[in-house]
């Protein structure tokens, strides 16, 4: 049995606008270019994002000069079911771009290698990616897309295919990096859900969620989570 302590006061943070930011460590060139992550792909309390007319967009630097810092493992993008598609754009940070060097490939592969997903992007080209196409590649609550340039992986996109009020609990703790950070007094504007996802083979032992020792004593009741079921908590 895995025992995980969750605080009774959980901080629900809005991820700051991140992007392709760190210059090449060997030969930095020019100013750092920042790409803003669409707010519909950020955690916005428990509010369901508005679809709007255009899908949200993730912009990648295909020149290899800067690291892509959007939708990373520590700050993933949250892809709600109300957003059927997203756009991924290749925007090399040099003009004119070079088709042979600045083209990108976005790739995912299933664990059994029987399925594959790949999108090729020439410089300044935008591709539409459907949420339904990535569902088969979800592992442990996460879809990881590799970004390749000239056949080499230069970065990865980390996507959580869940609603904004769902907290995923993995085999070693919360998948959402917010809940692995320091505890700060905060509140949630609505009820939230906990879901246990696992990467273990075979039946997974249930999780027991308990509040840590606090003064005055907490009234938080332990929660048993078997693999996959959702436990709803009233906040």
150-182 pLDDT, tens per residue? 999 988 999 999 887 788 888 777 888 777 765
| Same-domain status, 138 and 213 | no
| Angstrom distance (rounded) from CA 36 to CA 40 | 11
Q: What's residue 124's pLDDT?
A: 92
| The domain boundary residue, chosen from 125, 143, 160 | 160
8-50 pLDDT, tens per residue? 333 333 333 333 333 333 444 445 566 778 889 988 767 788 8
Higher pLDDT, 127 or 155: 127
57-106 pLDDT, tens per residue? 999 988 877 777 889 888 889 999 999 999 999 988 887 888 888 999 99
| Same-domain status, 209 and 182 | yes
Higher pLDDT, 109 or 71: 71
Q: What's residue 204's pLDDT?
A: 66
* 225 in a structural domain: yes
The two tokens of residue 223 are 């929660």
pLDDT above 50: residue 2? no
DSSP 23: B
Phi, psi of 133 (to 5 degrees): -75, -20
CB atoms within 10 A of CB 150: 12
User: How far does the chain reach from its first CA to its final CA, in angstroms?
Assistant: 26
Higher pLDDT, 168 or 184: 168
Closest CA to 194 of 162, 172, 161: 162
* 1 in a structural domain: no
| Angstrom distance (rounded) from CA 142 to CA 158 | 7
| The domain boundary residue, chosen from 160, 191, 225 | 160
The pTM score is: 0.72
Domain range for 181: 166-233
Burial class (CB in 10 A: 0-12, 13-18, 19+), 68: buried
| Angstrom distance (rounded) from CA 187 to CA 203 | 34
């Amino acid at each position: 049995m895995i025992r995980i302590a969750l605080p009774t006061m959980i901080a629900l943070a809005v991820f700051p606008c991140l992007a392709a930011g760190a210059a090449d460590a060997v030969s930095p060139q020019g100013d750092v270019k920042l790409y803003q992550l669409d707010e519909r792909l950020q955690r916005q309390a428990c509010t369901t994002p508005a679809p709007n007319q255009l899908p949200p967009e993730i912009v990648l630097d295909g020149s290899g000069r800067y690291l892509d810092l959007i939708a990373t493992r520590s700050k993933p993008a949250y892809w709600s079911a109300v957003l059927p598609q997203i756009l991924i754009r290749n925007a090399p940070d040099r003009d004119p771009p070079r088709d042979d060097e600045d083209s990108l490939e976005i790739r995912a592969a299933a664990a059994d290698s029987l399925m594959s997903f790949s999108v090729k992007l020439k410089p300044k080209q935008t591709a539409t990616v459907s949420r339904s196409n990535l569902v088969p590649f979800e592992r442990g609550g996460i879809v990881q897309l590799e970004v390749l340039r000239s056949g080499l992986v230069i970065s990865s996109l980390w996507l959580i295919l869940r609603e904004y009020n769902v907290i995923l609990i993995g085999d070693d703790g919360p998948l959402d990096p917010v809940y692995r950070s320091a505890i700060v007094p905060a509140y949630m504007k609505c009820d939230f859900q906990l879901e246990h996802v696992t990467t273990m083979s075979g039946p997974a032992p249930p999780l027991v969620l308990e509040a840590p020792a606090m003064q005055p004593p907490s009234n938080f009741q332990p929660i048993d989570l078997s693999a996959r079921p959702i436990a709803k908590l009233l906040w």
